[in-house]
């Protein structure tokens, strides 16, 4: 593709992202499937440009406004090209290419001339939240918890995520998978503390590999693998994965349980459950059964509680959340999250915790997980639940950490926070609540 054609594609994709609620990765994937003439290098350039723009949108849009220009996909790309040292005019103007964008206008030319006076994307007048590429509201939310660490936390979340995999011990082992990947030119490094975790040294599309199709491994971030291990699923356990989604933690638990016991994986989305079922079959899991819920208050929960007083050893609630801990993978998500979004999620999380807790047997555990780093969705939810449910108490997660990984956790808190700047992983929160006997 010509440079101008690449610019046209980026404009088209950015407009789609800005004008819909569909995640950026799905929009990019849809464009790739419908524009097969684009080569792999072209697609890489387009994808990398889109994600870099989304990661640095706060700084870029500040410049557009600061230099008295209207914010649009075109002005954003002009600004991005300038600060990434690309020939802006060459990326727009090409009279011989019918797929080129409209030529640079006189107003845009003046914008470019103003930009050329500046080399750094930062500016002394730029507010801290724009420098950190986040809304002022979310910056304040992070600052409530992280205070002076906020810049480090947010800067780490603005980097590119790694590709981590969890080896499926039901079908293979870590050494064998690492060897088979190496034979295909894919080098990996063992993840710290995770005996069946590997990290790719370079990015690679894994879904086409025979080892993946045979269920020898699953793509799962290091942080997600850690919290999955800390669920401490044992042989013979009876577990409910209440918000199973596409089944990542169900797969990990089934592996730890050696395909014994019973897991019921639930969700309100039939499509997500169907994807989970495909992954579970591929992974050779046979101790899990699917249950579609009408809502977090599904009648099955009440019936189960009345017949068996809860009856489950562990109920895992990987709750719907803002996903602030996954911004490395989903930078578009931070620009779609506002105060109303957080408030609505908190109401839902509270309702899910209240309902799912009824499935926990006396002496059993309710395990609350989010991929959020906001206090409202984490500690505040746990405190509120414990205030209203005196038959539960908070367990010290450091004990579970020591039992699982045979080493001491550095945190003094009874709950767990995993952050990108400390762990080089997605961000997670985890609390283990035990029902009194």
Delineate the domains of the chain, giving CATH numbers in brackets: 3-126 (no CATH), 164-219 (3.30.70.1170), 222-435 (3.40.50.150)
| CA torsion angle 191 192 193 196 (round to 10) | 10
pLDDT of residue 307: 82
Return d(Cα 46, Cα 77) in angstroms, integer: 12
DSSP letter, residue 326: G
pTM, two decimal places: 0.94
| CA torsion angle 20 24 25 29 (round to 10) | 60
* Structure token pair of residue 389: 């449910």
First to last CA, the chain: 67
Q: What is the pLDDT of residues 126-171, one digit of tens each?
A: 999 999 999 999 999 999 999 999 999 999 999 999 999 999 999 9
Task: Note whether 434 and 395 are within 8 A (CB).
Answer: yes
Q: Where are the beta strands (DSSP E) in 121-193?
A: 164-167, 188-190
CA 394 to centroid of chain Cα atoms = 26
Q: List Cβ neighbours of 140 (8 Å cut-off, separation of 6 or more).
A: none
pLDDT of residue 173: 96
pLDDT of residue 409: 67
pLDDT of residue 410: 60
Return d(Cα 102, Cα 93) in angstroms, integer: 7
DSSP letter, residue 208: T
Q: What is the pLDDT of residues 270-312, one digit of tens each?
A: 999 999 999 999 999 999 999 999 999 999 999 988 887 789 9
Which residues does the chain have with pLDDT short of 50? none
């Amino acid at each position: 593709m010509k440079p101008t054609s690449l610019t046209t594609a980026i404009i088209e994709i950015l407009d789609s992202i800005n004008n819909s609620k569909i995640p950026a990765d799905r929009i990019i994937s849809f464009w790739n499937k419908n524009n097969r003439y684009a080569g792999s290098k072209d697609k890489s350039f387009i994808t990398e440009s889109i994600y870099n723009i989304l990661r640095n949108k706060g700084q870029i849009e500040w410049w557009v406004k600061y230099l008295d220009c209207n914010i649009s996909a075109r002005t954003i790309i002009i600004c991005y090209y300038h600060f990434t040292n690309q020939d802006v005019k060459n990326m727009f103007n090409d009279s011989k290419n019918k797929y080129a964008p409209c030529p640079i206008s006189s107003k845009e030319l003046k914008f470019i001339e103003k930009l050329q006076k500046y080399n750094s994307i930062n500016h002394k007048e730029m507010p801290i939240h724009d420098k950190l590429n986040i809304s002022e509201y979310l910056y304040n939310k992070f600052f409530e918890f992280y205070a002076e660490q906020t810049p480090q936390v947010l800067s780490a979340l603005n980097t590119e995520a790694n590709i981590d995999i969890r080896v499926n011990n039901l079908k293979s082992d870590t050494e064998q998978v690492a060897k088979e990947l190496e034979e295909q030119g894919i080098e990996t490094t063992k993840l710290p503390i995770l005996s069946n975790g590997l990290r790719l040294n370079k990015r690679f599309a894994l879904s086409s590999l025979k080892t993946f199709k045979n269920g020898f491994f699953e793509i799962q971030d290091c942080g997600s693998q850690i919290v999955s291990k800390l669920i401490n699923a044992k042989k013979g356990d009876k577990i409910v994965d209440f918000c199973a989604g596409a089944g990542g933690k169900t797969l990990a638990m089934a592996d730890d349980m050696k395909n014994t016991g019973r897991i019921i994986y639930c969700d309100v989305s039939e499509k997500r459950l169907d994807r989970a079922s495909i992954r579970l079959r591929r992974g050779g899991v046979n101790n899990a059964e699917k249950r579609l819920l009408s809502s977090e208050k599904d009648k099955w929960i009440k019936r189960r509680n009345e017949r068996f007083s809860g009856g489950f050893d562990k109920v895992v609630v990987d709750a719907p959340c803002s996903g602030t801990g996954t911004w490395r993978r989903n930078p578009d998500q931070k620009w779609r999250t506002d105060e109303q979004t957080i408030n609505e999620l908190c109401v839902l999380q509270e309702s899910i915790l209240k309902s799912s807790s009824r499935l926990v047997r006396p002496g059993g555990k309710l395990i609350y997980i989010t991929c959020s780093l906001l206090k409202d969705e984490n500690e505040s939810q746990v405190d509120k639940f414990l205030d209203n449910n005196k038959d539960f108490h908070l367990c010290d997660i450091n004990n579970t950490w020591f039992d699982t990984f045979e080493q001491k956790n550095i945190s003094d808190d009874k709950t767990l926070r995993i952050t990108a700047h400390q762990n080089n992983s997605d961000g997670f929160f985890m609390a283990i609540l035990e029902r009194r006997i």
